[in-house]
Amino acid sequence: MIGKTGVLIVNLGTPDSPSVPDVRKYLREFLMDGRVIDIPSISRWLLINLIIAPFRAPKSAKIYKELWTEKGSPLKIYGETNEKQLQTALGKDYVVKLAMRYQSPSIESGLAEFKKMGFNNIIVIPFFPQYASASTGSVYEEVMRIITKWQIIPEIKIKNYFYNYPKFIKAFADNGRKYLEKESFDHIVFSYHGLPARQIKKGDCTGKVCQLGSCCDTIHAMNQHCYRAQCFETTRLLVKELGLKEGTYTTCFQSRLGRDPWVQPYTDDVVKELAAKGIKRVLAFSPAFVSDCLETTIEVAEEYKEMFEENGGEHWQLVESLNDSEAWVDLLVDLVKE
Question: The domain spanning residue 65 has which CATH number?
Answer: 3.40.50.1400
Asked if 175 and 210 sit in the same domain, the reply is yes
Considering the domain architecture, whether residues 178 and 152 belong to the same structural domain is answered as no
Q: What pLDDT is stored for residue 256 in this prediction?
A: 87
- 69 vs 194: CA distance, rounded Å: 26
Do 96 and 176 lie in a common domain?
A: no
pLDDT, averaged in runs of 10, over the chain (338 residues) = 86 97 96 95 94 94 95 97 98 97 97 94 98 97 97 95 98 98 97 95 80 88 93 98 97 90 96 97 98 97 98 98 98 96
Collect all residues with Cβ–Cβ distance below 8 Å to 59 and sequence separation of at least 6.
none
Q: Are residues 181 and 74 in the same domain?
A: no
Q: What's the number of domains the chain is made of?
A: 2
CA distances to 98, 110, 140 from 144, in Å: 17, 13, 6
**Global confidence as pTM:** 0.95
Report the pLDDT value the prediction gives residue 27, as an integer from 0 to 100: 96
Q: Vertex 195, ends 72 and 295: CA angle to 5°?
A: 25
**One domain for residues 104 and 147:** yes
pLDDT at 3: 72
Mark whether 172 and 142 lie in a shared domain.
Answer: no
Assess whether 302 and 271 both reside in one domain.
Answer: yes
Same-domain status, 113 and 61: yes
Q: Are residues 319 and 176 in contact, defined by beta-carbon separation less than 8 angstroms?
A: yes
Shortest CA distance to 200 belongs to which of 209, 191, 190, 210? 210
Both 254 and 152 in one domain: the answer is no
> In this structure, are 204 and 237 located in the same domain?
yes
**Residues 198, 264 within the same domain:** yes
Give the pLDDT confidence score for residue 258 in this predicted structure.
80
pLDDT of residue 2: 62
Domain extent for 79: 5-161+326-337
Residues 170 and 157 in one domain: no
